[in-house]
Amino acid sequence: MTKLIFLITILLSIIAGCNPAPNIDKSFDRSGQVMEIVVHTHTSQKVMYDALYLRTGINYKESGLQGLAIWSNSDNLCEVYIVEPKRIDDTNSDTLGHEMLHCLYGTYHKEK
């Protein structure tokens, strides 16, 4: 049993080290500022995609997009589109946190 636990620990360490999360590369920083954030929750991805199409004119249906934040560089308004979370720490609540980071930091995971 001890050997099995040791092997599992080693495997988890290797897996965790293979794909480190990228650093946050802030295009702006609104920490500590008063912001207006409007969160649009939807019952499904399809409903969210339809709402995003009405808002942006862009069809996200084939993108696999989990959520979207729309912000302006000229004011502190941010709109977040997500599928409504059903459980604590489910994919949808994680997506909410991810999109809120966009409200704070802009395009923080842009490709270089």
16 within a domain of the structure (yes/no): no
Query: Mean pLDDT, to the nearest integer, of 45-71?
Result: 95
Query: Which residue segment(s) compose the domain that 85 sits in?
Result: 23-105
Cβ neighbours of 93 (radius 10 Å): 15
Report yes or no on 53 lying in a domain.
yes
Q: What is the mean pLDDT of residues 56-75?
A: 92
In a domain, 54, yes or no: yes
- The answer to whether residue 14 sits within a structural domain is no
Number of separate domains in the chain: 1
pLDDT band at 78 (very low <50, low <70, confident <90, very high): very high
Least confident of 13-17, 35-39, 99-103: 13-17
Enter the pTM of the model.
Answer: 0.76
Tokens of 95: 């997506």
79 or 17, which is more confident: 79
Q: With respect to residue 60, please indicate whether it lies within any of the assigned structural domains.
A: yes
The least confident of 19-23, 49-53, 86-90 is 19-23
Residue 110 located in a structural domain:
no
**Mean pLDDT within 59-84:** 94
Q: Quick count: other Cβ atoms within 10 Å of Cβ 48?
A: 22
**Euclidean distance between CA atoms 30 and 43, whole angstroms:** 30
What is the spatial order of strands in the sheet that 36-42 belongs to?
36-42, 77-83, 67-71
Across all residues in the chain, what is the average pLDDT? 83
pLDDT for position 4? 40
Percentage of residues in the chain having pLDDT higher than 90: 63
